[in-house]
Amino acid sequence: MLPKDLPEFNLEQGVVMLIDKPLEWTSFDVVNKLRYTIKRAFGLKKVKVGHAGTLDPLASGLLIVCAGKATKTIDQIQAEHKKYTGIITIGAKTPSFDLETEVEKVANADHITLEEVQNAANQFLGVIDQTPPIFSAKKIDGKTAYNLARAGKEVKLKKAQVEIMTFDIVKKEGVNFHFEVTCSKGTYIRSLANDVGEVLGVGGYLSALRRTQSGDFRIEEAKTVEQWVDFIAQLPNNQKTEG
């Protein structure tokens, strides 16, 4: 049942949708699903829809999707700081710095303590020069880095300046260390996980990630893709405003 206080879905003024992105969906999967739903519900051939900050398929959490005139605010929203929770697994490495690729270079890390991981994490606080993962959407001479990496070609990426405001290791479960991090736009949490493993000398990779905040937008305000699709599809005609 639709709520009585149904908001106006005004594409002319712009619509900002907070999505709780599920695992294995790409950010573009979400955008394409919502674009199709809006076009069908409004009887449109074209509609502008875009997201304000990519989430990898193996990450879940807050994805901000803008439609109509709100797409003009994407750069502004994307520039805001981000907050994440996740797990760094210590004692192994992967080429992608997460579970997209196979685990390799396994080392004994049972002796690593939470305090040691926190001390390693502290080394990345502040403004740092970070090397992006080779399995990323960065461009090299017009070609996407992850396509080159998957083809077995050598990939060299330039370091980028990012800022890590907070990086807290909050719990240890065996070789899995739960963390919370606040960072600037463009930060690769996968690279942070790999770098922490390098400092500890046993390797490390990102085994779970969830975005909980972007600027003033929080995951608690988000709806699932299915909830947004149902909401848009059931909009009564008097709530469908194009301008």
Q: Which residues are catalytic?
A: 56
CA distance 238 to 7: 11
- Nearest one of 32, 20, 48 to 243, comparing CA atoms: 48
Phi and psi at 85, nearest 5°, equal: -120, 155
Q: Which residues contact 4 (CB under 8 A, 6 or more apart)?
A: none
H helices then E strands: how many in the chain?
6, 13
Whole-angstrom CA distances from 163 to 168, 192, 194 are 15, 11, 17
